[in-house]
Amino acid sequence: MVIAGNNRAFGVAEKAVFVKDPLMVLVTAPRVISPGEKVALPITLFIQKEDIKNINVKAETNEL
């Protein structure tokens, strides 16, 4: 979806796009995390092929 504006005029365009990757990951992370704070990291996997059976997911942090 694209939204454009100029002064008082606005427009929008939308087009469906097919994604053909066999495995996609959607991670919903908080915008702000303070040092020392614990958060849950929801992960959604979209699997498009039946032959994908085992998946390992690993999340790492830096020194903060």
> pTM for the complete prediction?
0.52
| Residue 47 belongs to domain spanning | 20-52
pLDDT level of residue 61 (50, 70, 90 thresholds): confident
Q: Quick check: is 9 in a domain? A: no
Residue 22: CB atoms within 10 Å:
11
Mean pLDDT of the 5-25 span:
88
Q: Quick check: is 6 in a domain? A: no
Residue 14 has pLDDT above 90, yes or no: yes
Q: Quick check: is 44 in a domain? A: yes
Q: Quick check: is 36 in a domain? A: yes
Please enumerate in sequence order all residues whose Cβ is within 8 A of that of 38, keeping only pairs 6 or more positions apart, or say none: none
